[in-house]
Amino acid sequence: MKVFGGIEVGGTKIVCVIASGPDDIHDEVVVSTTTPEETLPRVLDFFSSGVPGALLSAVGIGTFGPLDLNPSSSTYGYITSTTKPGWSQVDIAGEVQRALGVPVVLDTDVKAAAVGEGTWGAAKGLDDFIYLTIGTGIGGGGVFGGKPMHGMIHPEMGHIRIPHDIKKDPYKGYCPFHGDCFEGLASGQAMQERWGQKAEMLPPDHEAWELETHYIALALQSYICTLSPRLIILGGGVMRQSHLFPLIRAKVRLFLGGYVRSPLVLDDTEEYILPPALGNRAGVLGALSLALTRST
Amino acid sequence: MKVFGGIEVGGTKIVCVIASGPDDIHDEVVVSTTTPEETLPRVLDFFSSGVPGALLSAVGIGTFGPLDLNPSSSTYGYITSTTKPGWSQVDIAGEVQRALGVPVVLDTDVKAAAVGEGTWGAAKGLDDFIYLTIGTGIGGGGVFGGKPMHGMIHPEMGHIRIPHDIKKDPYKGYCPFHGDCFEGLASGQAMQERWGQKAEMLPPDHEAWELETHYIALALQSYICTLSPRLIILGGGVMRQSHLFPLIRAKVRLFLGGYVRSPLVLDDTEEYILPPALGNRAGVLGALSLALTRST
């Protein structure tokens, strides 16, 4: 029996699965993210032990970045200059590949989540869509023409600039690089600094949400004009507040001003802007889905 | 001998070529864009007459939009709801295909220009880049993973929202859909309304350019974060003012704030943001390059 590995590398924990699909998980382990020297051997042990009677075919890794995804680069497959202590210049794809002797597919956590949603989730069967995670930070990944979009490095969709009316909202923004970029204005960190409590704790009728959905809709308007996605999936901690979806959809329609002539965008926005179908399993199942792209 | 056709459909004129490449143009004609009933037969006559001893293999069309580029749609290959009188719901690809009996590749004018630059111009050999035209309006097209990016409809990159400080710049914007989107603030039409004369007539030391390059750089920052292009080509009438390039490059570096960790973006911006190598032939050679994608 052929099985695949999925590794979701997060800032606090690493989730590993051996599975043939989302409904057929053979084994799973969660490891704390400490140093690479301590953490990676535990990950590799899990896969080396394996599952009786099952042959590991490939491993997918979805991780925080930035990553080097340029196949002609000498540091291809590395986590590059991350702010996470100890994890800069770690050859994560190479270490896994050498230890397990199987093909390894590396991508960013958001791009893995996007591929997972395209394989088993809300974007199943679609060739052009984006997955945006709005949590502590904001990140995005896209699949276009049926393939994960890399570009030169990889997108950093949370850092686009959006209109910011400082008379209405004098908050300067949280981003250390750009101040009031989208992430600087609308990430979980920004919300916590602005409102003095975590986004998850704010009640649905709090004034925070009017502003938050305003910024999210402005960013989506830009992504729609730039990429023309067939579907937008919004995940992450902040988006667990499901009452945000109708507000965001209405504002996106307003901001587009009837310009994108598609009934899906203009009328049926409830089928255009959706939560992830894989929920909080999007990360690890996304990593698993990367491995399947190497299936032969 | 195998030759290809290229048709650049503009609002005032249509340029047609029969060629095997940019340096081997066999015949060329320019037709005024009046009604489709009057104009298209003249285009088709040109190609039907052909070139002695040459066999037309395929035709590429780069045109104003919006277009229906969805192969499963009943109006695939049509110009859809354009503001250009008489040109809505015109089956432009179908008419050419039926009249000439060769494969036809249709795309937007900017996407055609992007493909042309990728085939023979500034982006030769690159898989991920964007082409932006800043003229009367603003449009953009991208090639990613080596393929023109379509998405659900096609991008309308000029209509992204960007920060607009109405205290510094009280102009409301020109766009009938969005007011002060990028096109509304920075297109040739916006410049003419704001400054009372055409962009081409403004001297290089006019205050207009400080503001214009500010808006262009803000938009590029968003495209870079969303798409991670390997190269940005800036064409169109406004960009013929070559003194704008150094201003734009400096502001893009400033707005990125060191975030995109690539020497190309952070240091060598003069190789990252470029004018089109094909100059004012980008449109028709772009259309020609679309035909070559059907070459076997």
Across the interface, of B153, B164, B218, the residue whose CB is closest to A260 is B153
Q: Contacts of residue A178 in chain B, CB cutoff 8 Å?
A: 255, 257, 259
- Residue B259 to residue A156, Cβ atoms within 8 A: yes
* pLDDT tens readout for residues B142-190: 999 899 888 887 788 999 999 999 999 999 999 988 999 999 999 999 9
Domains and CATH numbers, chain A: 2-112+280-295 (3.30.420.40), 122-275 (3.30.420.40)
Q: For residue A270, give every residue at least 6 positions away whose Cβ sits within 8 Å of its Cβ, in sequence order, or none.
A: A245, A246, A249
pLDDT for res B194: 96
Interface touch A178/B128, C-beta < 8 Å: no
pLDDT in tens, B205-251: 999 999 999 999 999 999 999 999 999 999 999 999 999 999 999 99
Residue B224 CA to residue A153 CA, distance in Å, equals 10
- Name the residue among B149, B221, B228 with its Cβ closest to that of A161: B221
Q: At how many degrees (to 10) do helices A208-227 and A244-256 cross? A: 50
d(CA B9, CA A226): 23
**Beta carbons of A160 and B226 less than 8 Å apart:** yes
Over residues B33-50, the pLDDT tens digits come to 999 999 999 999 999 998
Q: Which residues of chain A have pLDDT under 50?
A: none
Model pLDDT, residue A261 = 63
Residue A224's closest chain B neighbor by CA? B155
Nearest to B163 among A151, A161, A256 (CB): A161
How confident is the model at residue B295, as a pLDDT? 66
Checking if the pLDDT of B22 tops 80, the result is yes
- The reply to whether residue A149 touches residue B145, judged by beta carbons under 8 angstroms, is yes
Q: How far is CA B229 from CA A153, A154, B156, in A?
A: 8, 9, 17
Which of B147, B218, B261 is the closest to A145 by Cβ?
A: B147
In whole numbers, what is the pLDDT of chain B averaged over residues?
92
Q: What is the pLDDT of residue B164?
A: 97
Distance from CA of B38 to the nearest CA of A (A): 28
Question: Could you say which of A151, A221, A222 has the minimum Cβ distance to residue B144?
Answer: A151
Q: What is the ipTM metric for this complex?
A: 0.91
Q: Tell me if A156 and B81 make a contact (CB, 8 A cut-off).
A: no
Closest CA to A36 of A79, A100, A99, A98: A79
Residues of chain A whose beta carbon is less than 8 angstroms from a beta carbon of chain B are 66, 80-81, 128, 140, 144-145, 147, 149-164, 177-178, 218, 221-223, 225-230, 255-262, 264
What tokens does A220 get?
């989506």
% of chain B at pLDDT higher than 70 = 98
CA neighbor of A294 nearest in space, from A99, A1, A66, A3: A3
In this complex, the residue of B157, B160, B226 whose CB is nearest that of residue A155 is B226
pLDDT of B192 strictly over 80:
yes
Q: Tell me what pLDDT residue B261 has.
A: 63
Would you say residue B82 has pLDDT above 90? Answer: no
Question: A50-82 burial, b if ≥16 CB within 10 A, otherwise e?
Answer: beeebebbbbbbbbbbbbbbbeeeeeebbbbeb
- pLDDT of B201 strictly over 60: yes
Nearest residue of A to residue B258 by CA position? A177
Residues 6 or more apart in contact with residue A104 via CB below 8 angstroms: A58, A59, A60, A61, A77, A93, A96, A97
Residues of chain B contacting A, Cβ within 8 Å: 66, 80-81, 128, 140, 144-145, 147, 149-164, 177-178, 218, 221-223, 225-230, 255-262, 264
Torsion of CA B60, B66, B70, B74, to 10 degrees: -100
pLDDT for the residue A141 = 92
With CB atoms and an 8 Å threshold, state whether B158 touches A221. no
In chain B, the residue whose alpha carbon lies closest to the alpha carbon of A254 is B178
Q: For A263, list phi and psi in degrees, rounded to 5.
A: -55, -35
